[in-house]
Amino acid sequence: MSARRAVVLLSGGLDSATCLAIAVRDGLEAHALSVDYGQRHRAELEAARRVATVLHAASHRVVKVDLRSLGGSALTSDAIEVPKDRAPEEIGHGIPVSYVPARNTVMLSVATAAAEVLDADAIYVGVNALDSSGYPDCRPEFLEAFRAVARLGTRRGVEGRPFDLRAPLLALSKAGIAKLALSLGVPVAETLSCYDPLPARSPVGPAVHCGRCDACSLRRKGFREAGLADPTTYEG
């Protein structure tokens, strides 16, 4: 009997890489899916490729969706600067300009389409409500609403075989995610969380984290609070 399949949204960051490791650990045939949406930090797509290889994903596909043509975010418009050096108490309060309008809605829709084609049983997404940057599409309410959309708008849902939308990191702190990632053998040094990375220092190495954006701050905080050595290369 063939293994049950899952589609794992893989950005190349620590959280999504940990989700892929969880799916593999659970014995699923894990198909990684990355979305090239015109993000400023496109280096994360190369990180996703490396992570998918190391964690033995059954496949890795990159789908292009042009959100840069819409703009409206520091991650999809060069005219908007990525917030940096924000105090820890600022992160998570209000919605920052790094929020990409409807990004998770679009990504989950693409993952749902892939899951239908593969006849997958589950979709994994690495959203995190505790240490997110205040994004509305990282909340449990959003995921529950999307479950209803997928159930009503897909063949599997209509046939009574809805996808299991899994967000295993939803209630974990970044410290908890860091510990879990290392315990599952995630190649942490190969992942890229930064919103404004610098070029890699070697032809085969990962991009360098800026060390100052919200994503870098949360990543650093997670390893520090977990009492773990952080293998990440930061510029600042």
30-45: per-residue pLDDT in tens?
A: 999 999 999 999 999 9
Distance (Å, whole) CA 123 – CA 5: 9
Tell me how far CA of residue 199 lies from CA of 14, 72, 111, 176, 202, in angstroms.
Answer: 19, 25, 29, 29, 9
Those residues with Cβ within 8 angstroms of residue 18's Cβ, 6 or more apart along the chain or in another chain: 126, 169, 177, 180, 181, 184, 186
pLDDT band at 115 (very low <50, low <70, confident <90, very high): very high
Q: Is residue 198 part of a domain?
A: yes
Q: Is residue 62 part of a domain?
A: yes
Residues 37, 77 contacting (CB under 8 angstroms): no
Q: Is residue 235 part of a domain?
A: no
Q: Is residue 236 part of a domain?
A: no
- At residue 122, the pLDDT reads 97
What is the helix, strand, coil percentage profile of the chain, to 5? Answer: 35, 15, 50
- At residue 2, the pLDDT reads 54
Residue percentage of the chain with pLDDT more than 70: 97
Q: Is residue 160 part of a domain?
A: yes
Mean pLDDT of 179-196: 97
Q: Where are the alpha helices (DSSP H) in 7-42?
A: 14-25
pLDDT, tens digit (0-9, with 9 covering 90-100), for 12-31: 999 999 999 999 999 999 99
pLDDT, tens digit (0-9, with 9 covering 90-100), for 125-162: 999 987 666 799 999 999 999 999 999 999 999 999 99
Q: How far is CA 56 from the centre of its chain?
A: 17
pLDDT band at 1 (very low <50, low <70, confident <90, very high): very low
Mean pLDDT of 168-188: 96
**Structural domain count, the chain:** 1
pLDDT, tens digit (0-9, with 9 covering 90-100), for 47-80: 999 999 999 999 999 999 999 999 999 999 999 9
The residue among 148 and 202 whose pLDDT is bigger is: 148
Element (H, E) at 149: helix 140-153
Q: Is residue 136 part of a domain?
A: yes
Give the CATH number, domain containing residue 156.
Answer: 3.40.50.620
pTM above 0.85, yes or no: yes
Q: Is residue 39 part of a domain?
A: yes
Q: Is residue 121 part of a domain?
A: yes
Mean pLDDT of 104-133: 93
Q: Which residue range forms the structural domain that includes residue 204?
A: 5-226
Structural tokens at position 110: 């693409």
